[in-house]
Structure 1
C-alpha cells in the first residue's frame, strides 16, 4: 500500500500493465510513505535549507508526493525523489494469505481516503493540525494492531518483491534497509542488545524491472518483537524518477527451511549435548520485551543432566549481555558450555558449539518452542534430534539422556572446558604439534580395573565409536561377565598441565606363547576421542609389550571395521601395524620404536 498525496494532480505517465499474477505467497501489510533520510522533525523544519512544506505542513522530499498512476488494469505510484528523500514503512511481521491481504489493502485504502476527506473537513473548523494527517494516523494504528497480533511461532518474511519502471536513461541504485526503530522503543537499549540492521543494494535498469530479493538475513529483526521500519532510498545524491507497481515483503516457502520429521530419522547414538533456546523455552517471556521468569524445574533438570555427564549449552537470538546476566541470576551460567547468544541462525550457533567442543553432530539434541527455528535446525542438521519446549517435562526420561552418574560424568563439563584451553594453547605452537605435546606434560596411568571403575568401563564400551578398535559393543551383562575372566583388564587415565581427562580408555588383552615366542593379543580396546592424537594407543601397546617381555615377536589387534571407526584403523597404520580390517592388524615390536618420550607412563 502507498500513502498517496490526495492533493496532487494525476500523473501524466502513460503505460499499460497486465493484471498482477495471482501470487500464492503470504505477505505483509505495509504502508509506504515519503520521508527524509536526515529527518529531525519538527525542529529541522526551521533550520534545514531543503525544507519544502507539504499541504499538511510536513517536509516534501518526493516531488509532488506519492502520485497514483493508472496503467491498464494496474495501479502504481509515481516517484520523483528529491535530495534526502526516501520511502519508508512502519514494519510488522504479521503475514497474510494473498486474498486476505488484497482485501485488507483495498479496505484500508478506502478508509484512508475517507479519513483524509473527513480530516480536511474537520480541519477547516479546527485549529488542531493533526486533522490534516488523519489518514496517516489511520495507517499507523493499523500497523500497531498488526504488530500486536502476529503469530510469534510462525515464519517470517524472507523475500522482497519489486516491480518498477525506471524512467531515467541510467541505472538507478537504491538501498533497502530493515532495522529496529529506536525512536519507538519503550526502553533504552544499546546497539549490542539489538539485532543488526540489514541493508541490501538494489539496481533498477532503465525500463521495466521485476526483482525478487532474498532478505533472510533480516529474520532477527522480524523475530525480535521490537518495532522496526523498512526504507527504500536512492544511493548518494541521485534523484531517480520511478513508477512502482509492487513493493512487497513476502514469505516464500521455497527459500525457507523445510522441517524434517523426527519420526523419519532414527537417533541411535546417546546424546552428549543438549542445546536450549531461552525465550519461552527455559524461561517464560521475551527478554527484550521485559522481565522473564525461569520455568519450574529447570535448575533441577540442568543439575541432573550435568551429573549424568550430559553437556548443556544455549542457542538464542537475544542480546548477549542481557541474556548472560539473566542466566547468571538464575544460577545456570556455570553449567553451560560456550553459549551462543546473538542474531545468527540457530543452526550456525549449534555448529559453533559442536566445533568448539569437538563432538559429533549426531550426539546433539536441540530444544526450542518456535517451530520455525526447529525446522531451520532440522533442515541444516538432520542428524540433530529436535524437540519442542513441551519435552522439558519428561526430558530426564529420554532414553538418549540417561548417561551414567560417575566421577567421570560429574567432571565431564570441566574436562571439555579444559580441552578448549588446550586447543587455544596449541595454536601458539603453529604447525609444531609434537612440541606442543611436549609442553603439555602428559601423564598416563595404566592399571588393572577395580569394581569402582565398572560403570565408567561400561560407558566407554557402549559409547565409544571412532576409537573402538574391535568395533564390538556389549550390554552390561556381557561386560560384567568379561570382567570376571582371566584376561588382562586395563584402565587408562590421562592428565596434563591443563587438568585431568579422567578415565579415557579400557583394554582387554591376553598373552600367548607360540613355540616359545610371546605374542600379545588385544581383544578389545576403546579410547575416548577427547585424547585422540596424543599417542595414548602407542603408549598402551608399548606397556603390553613390556608385560610380555623383550622377546615378544608379535602384537595382534583383533580389529573389526565399522562405519565409524576409521580413525582407529588410521592410528594402527600410522604406528606401523599391517594387515586389514577383515583379518586384524599385526606388528613386530622389535622393528618399531613404541615408547613415547614426551609422556610419563605410570603403571600399577
Structure 2
C-alpha cells in the first residue's frame, strides 16, 4: 500500500523485461499471509515543518508535503505480481521510503482487497473536482487514518510472520545499496539495520523475523525505512512486495534432520519443583526421565542443559540425581535461554537445526523459537514422545554409543590448546594426529551411512546416501571409496570422513567430514595424500566436485588452500582441478596410515 491520495501516475509494465516480470510472480501461492504497510515518501534530513520554508529541495505536493521522489510513487500495473502492481521510484537526493510498521497479517486475497479499496479511494480523492483547501484537508485526513491504523499494536495471540520480504528490480548496470532500518517508537533501543545489495536485475531479500525481534517488539509500534546509499539523482528502482509475510513451508525432498543434541530445562522439566523456591530436598525427578536420558545417550545423541538458576546449586542438584555425566557444556544462568542455546551449538560445533529444546514454559519455548526458528522446541508435557520422534531415530553404532566421551576428550584438547597461545600449528603437532584411510566394506558401511546422514558443515557434495546406495557404490569397480578414521594423543575420534573418487577421470565426486575434526588440518592432509597418489599413478590432472552452501563455505577454503583452481560452475556444482605439474604442499602435521587401495579405472 502507498500514498494513493497524492500519487496518481501510472505506467505500463512493458518497459520491464519479461523474465523480471516472471520473477515478481514466483511467490504466488507460496506467500500465505502478508501485511499491508502504508509506504510513503520521506526525507533523510527532514526537520518538518521548518524545512518547508528553509530547504532548497522542498517541492510541494497537492497536500503541501514535500515531494521527495522525482515523479512521486508511480504505479506500474502488473497482474503477475502478488499485490498486482509495482512501485516505480526515481529517487531525489535524501529521498527514502518510510512506513509505520506492524505485523498484522492478512490472507493474500484479503490484502489485495484492502489495497484495491485504498487505490479506489485515493484515486477518487485525487480526481474529484473540489477546492484545493478541501482536497488538502481530506487527503491529510485519509493518510492520517491509514497511518494511525497501521501503527496500532497487534494482538499477542496472532502468529508472527516468518520474514520481511523485499522484492526489487534494479534496471541500472551497477549494484545499488539500500539500508533497511526498523526502529521502535517507544523504546530507546538500538534499531535493527541491514544493508541490502541490489544487483542489476531482479532481487529478492528475506529478513528473518528472528533477526528483527532481537532489537524490537514487532507487536508494538515501530517505523520502517528503506534508504538508498550514495545514489545519483534519478536512480530508478521498481519495488514489488515490501511486506512482512508468512510463507507456506515448501515440500522438502530431504529427510528429517536428525537430532545431534537434546537440551533440557531443569525446573518442572527434568524434575518436579523449582530449585530456588523448593530446595533440593523437595525436588523429585520426573517419571522415566532418567531412562530417556540414558537411551538418548546410547543412541549417540548428545545432551545439555539450559536453565535459569544459580549455577552451583543447579549442578549440585543434577549430581544429586546422578545425571551430571550426561550433560555437556551446561548453560545455567539468568540470561535469555536463546543465548545458552547458541553457546551449546558453538561449543559442540553443530548446527542449531540439529537441536531439540525441552521446556515447561511456553514463553521460553517461544523466545528460543523467535531467535532461532531452526531449533525444534518441545513442551515438557510431550516428553514421553521424545524417543519416538523422527529426529531421534538415528543409526546406533559402537562409535555413536561413545560419542559423549569423544566430546569430553575434545574439551580436554581445547584446554591443552590454550597453553600454546597463538601457535596453533605447534599445538596440532603436539596432538600427534594420526589419520587412517581404508576402503568402505560391509563392516564399516553402517558408520559411513551414519556419517552421510549427520554431516552438514563439512559435506562438500550435499549428498546423504541411503544404505542401499552405498551398497551399489561398492559394486562399481571404477568408484574408489575412502573411509577415514582419526586419533591423537588424547584419544580416538572414530570414523570422521568419507570420500568417493571416480578413477576414470579421476574426479572426487564426494567428500565429507565430521565437524569434530574441523580446523585440525585433517582435510588438508587427506586431499594432499589422495591427489598425490592419483597424479603419481595415472599421470593426469585431478578433479573434484564442490557444491558450495552457506554451511560448508568456511570449510570449503581447504580447496584453494591446497592449490585447487576453479574450472566451471554448472547446476550449482563447482568443478575444481589440481594440475598434474603443480607442487603439493604438506605441512607435516598429520601422520597418514593408509591401506593399499587399487586405483581401478574400468
What TM-score, normalized to structure 1? 0.54
Matches within 5 A, 1:74-223: none
Cα deviation digits, residues 161-214 of structure 1 (max 9, x gap): xxxxxxxxxxxxxxxxxxxxxxxxxxxxxxxxxxxxxxxxxxxxxxxxxx9899
1:522 is aligned, of 508, 512, 519, to 508
Deviation at 1:546, TM superposition (A): 5.0
Structure 1 residue runs of 5 or longer lacking an equivalent are: 1-153, 156-210, 215-250, 513-518
Deviation at 1:434, TM superposition (A): 1.6
Cα deviation digits, residues 97-153 of structure 1 (max 9, x gap): xxxxxxxxxxxxxxxxxxxxxxxxxxxxxxxxxxxxxxxxxxxxxxxxxxxxxxxxx
Report what 1:490 is aligned to.
Answer: 482
1:461 is aligned, of 452, 469, 486, to 452
Deviation at 1:268, TM superposition (A): 4.8
Matches within 5 A, 1:31-42: none
Q: 1:261 to 1:313 in 2, by over 3 A?
A: farther
The question of 1:550 aligning with 2:520 is answered: no
Corresponding residue SS for 1:530: helix
Cα deviation digits, residues 20-59 of structure 1 (max 9, x gap): xxxxxxxxxxxxxxxxxxxxxxxxxxxxxxxxxxxxxxxx
- Equivalent residues of 1:538, 1:594 under 8 A apart: no
Deviation at 1:252, TM superposition (A): 12
Report what 2:404 is aligned to.
Answer: 413
- Equivalent residues of 2:532, 2:584 under 8 A apart: no
- Equivalent residues of 1:521, 1:556 under 8 A apart: yes
The question of 1:333 aligning with 2:324 is answered: yes
Report what 2:303 is aligned to.
Answer: 312
Report what 2:271 is aligned to.
Answer: 283
Cα RMSD after superposing both structures: 3.0
- Equivalent residues of 2:258, 2:392 under 8 A apart: yes
C-alpha distance in structure 1 between counterparts of 2:588 and 2:327, whole Å:
37
Cα deviation digits, residues 513-544 of structure 1 (max 9, x gap): xxxxxx53212111112212222223223332
Report what 1:584 is aligned to.
Answer: 575
C-alpha distance in structure 2 between counterparts of 1:560 and 1:376, whole Å:
34
Corresponding residue SS for 1:461: helix
C-alpha distance in structure 1 between counterparts of 2:318 and 2:575, whole Å:
51
Deviation at 1:561, TM superposition (A): 3.2
- Equivalent residues of 1:522, 1:558 under 8 A apart: yes
1:571 is aligned, of 530, 552, 558, to 558
The question of 1:535 aligning with 2:518 is answered: no
The question of 1:432 aligning with 2:423 is answered: yes
C-alpha distance in structure 2 between counterparts of 1:593 and 1:428, whole Å:
31
- Equivalent residues of 1:262, 1:386 under 8 A apart: no
C-alpha distance in structure 2 between counterparts of 1:508 and 1:264, whole Å:
33
Cα deviation digits, residues 472-511 of structure 1 (max 9, x gap): 2222322222133222221101111222111000112132
- Equivalent residues of 2:434, 2:590 under 8 A apart: yes
- Equivalent residues of 1:470, 1:560 under 8 A apart: yes
Aligned residues: 350
Q: 1:422 to 1:262 in 2, by over 3 A?
A: farther
Deviation at 1:596, TM superposition (A): 4.0
Corresponding residue SS for 2:576: strand
Report what 1:363 is aligned to.
Answer: 354
Q: 1:334 to 1:380 in 2, by over 3 A?
A: same
Q: 1:563 to 1:353 in 2, by over 3 A?
A: closer
Deviation at 1:264, TM superposition (A): 6.6
Deviation at 1:263, TM superposition (A): 9.7
Report what 1:601 is aligned to.
Answer: 592
Report what 1:499 is aligned to.
Answer: 491
Cα deviation digits, residues 417-466 of structure 1 (max 9, x gap): 22222233323333322222111111110112232211111112222222
Deviation at 1:332, TM superposition (A): 1.0
Deviation at 1:316, TM superposition (A): 1.0
Cα deviation digits, residues 558-598 of structure 1 (max 9, x gap): 22334533234321111111124435111025412243412
C-alpha distance in structure 2 between counterparts of 1:273 and 1:386, whole Å:
12
- Equivalent residues of 2:485, 2:495 under 8 A apart: yes
Corresponding residue SS for 2:325: helix
Q: 1:594 to 1:456 in 2, by over 3 A?
A: farther
1:393 is aligned, of 366, 384, 398, to 384
Corresponding residue SS for 1:566: coil
Deviation at 1:285, TM superposition (A): 1.3
Q: 1:340 to 1:565 in 2, by over 3 A?
A: closer
1:343 is aligned, of 334, 341, 347, to 334
Corresponding residue SS for 2:475: coil
C-alpha distance in structure 2 between counterparts of 1:443 and 1:595, whole Å:
15
C-alpha distance in structure 2 between counterparts of 1:441 and 1:589, whole Å:
30
C-alpha distance in structure 2 between counterparts of 1:213 and 1:336, whole Å:
39
Deviation at 1:557, TM superposition (A): 0.7
Q: 1:560 to 1:381 in 2, by over 3 A?
A: closer
1:444 is aligned, of 432, 435, 438, to 435
Matches within 5 A, 1:57-72: none
Deviation at 1:545, TM superposition (A): 4.0
Corresponding residue SS for 1:435: helix
The higher radius of gyration belongs to 1
- Equivalent residues of 1:554, 1:589 under 8 A apart: yes
Q: 1:458 to 1:262 in 2, by over 3 A?
A: farther
